[in-house]
């Protein structure tokens, strides 16, 4: 059930990433076009590009965690299961620490930046920092699924 829920969450996140990336490409393209050809600087395009980039990086990191697409270093051969299993659980503990830092400190940062405004877009600066705790929550969901797979002996996705 958790796997099915996470599959839907990941699908929504990936669709959002596709839209965000399209928006980023269009925004930067418009910025270049307006500045070089039209000689008309658009002051909102860098801020929108930064906002989209922030969401793409953090949500993309969570999706990559679920896909097991982050870089890893194989220190021991896969046949050394007696040592690889404890190392995998240690990796889960480190992941839990990162998730904790993202959620707790990210939320504090969002609360701190809530009163600021991105002047060119007319929105709260909170939106620039909100992907940090959102990413942590997504990583927690996806990591819990991985932990259950490790505990039940199911193979990785």
Q: What is the mean pLDDT of each run of 10 residues along the chain (157 residues)?
A: 94 97 97 93 94 98 92 77 85 94 97 94 96 97 92 69
Give a yes or no: residue 157 inside a domain.
no
Give a yes or no: residue 98 inside a domain.
yes
What are the two backbone dihedrals, phi and then psi, of residue 123, each rounded to the nearest 5 degrees? -125, 165
Give a yes or no: residue 74 inside a domain.
yes
- Give the range of the structural domain holding residue 115, as residue numbers without chain letter: 2-152
Q: Give the burial class of 53: count Cβ atoms within 10 A of its Cβ; 0-12 exposed, 13-18 middle, 19 or more buried.
A: middle
Residue 130: the pLDDT is: 97
Give a yes or no: residue 115 inside a domain.
yes
Give the containing element (helix H, strand E) for 123: strand 123-124
Give a yes or no: residue 73 inside a domain.
yes
pTM value > 0.85: yes
Distances, alpha carbon 88 to alpha carbons 8, 77, 113, in Å: 26, 13, 36
Give a yes or no: residue 79 inside a domain.
yes
> What is the tally of structural domains in the chain?
1
């Amino acid at each position: 059930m958790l796997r099915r829920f996470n599959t839907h969450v990941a699908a929504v996140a990936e669709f959002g990433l596709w839209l965000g990336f399209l928006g980023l490409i269009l925004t930067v393209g418009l910025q270049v076009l307006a500045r070089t050809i039209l000689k008309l600087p658009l002051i909102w395009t860098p801020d929108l590009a930064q906002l989209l980039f922030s969401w793409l990086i953090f949500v993309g990191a969570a999706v990559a965690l679920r896909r097991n697409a982050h870089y890893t270093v194989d220190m021991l051969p896969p046949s050394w299961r007696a040592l690889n299993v404890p190392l995998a659980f240690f990796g889960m503990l480190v992941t839990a620490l990162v998730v904790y830092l993202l959620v707790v400190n990210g939320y504090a940062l969002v609360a701190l930046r809530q009163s600021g405004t991105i002047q060119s877009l007319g929105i709260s600066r909170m939106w620039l920092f909100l992907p940090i705790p959102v990413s942590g929550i997504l990583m927690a969901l996806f990591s819990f699924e991985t932990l259950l797979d490790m505990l039940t002996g199911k193979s990785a996705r």
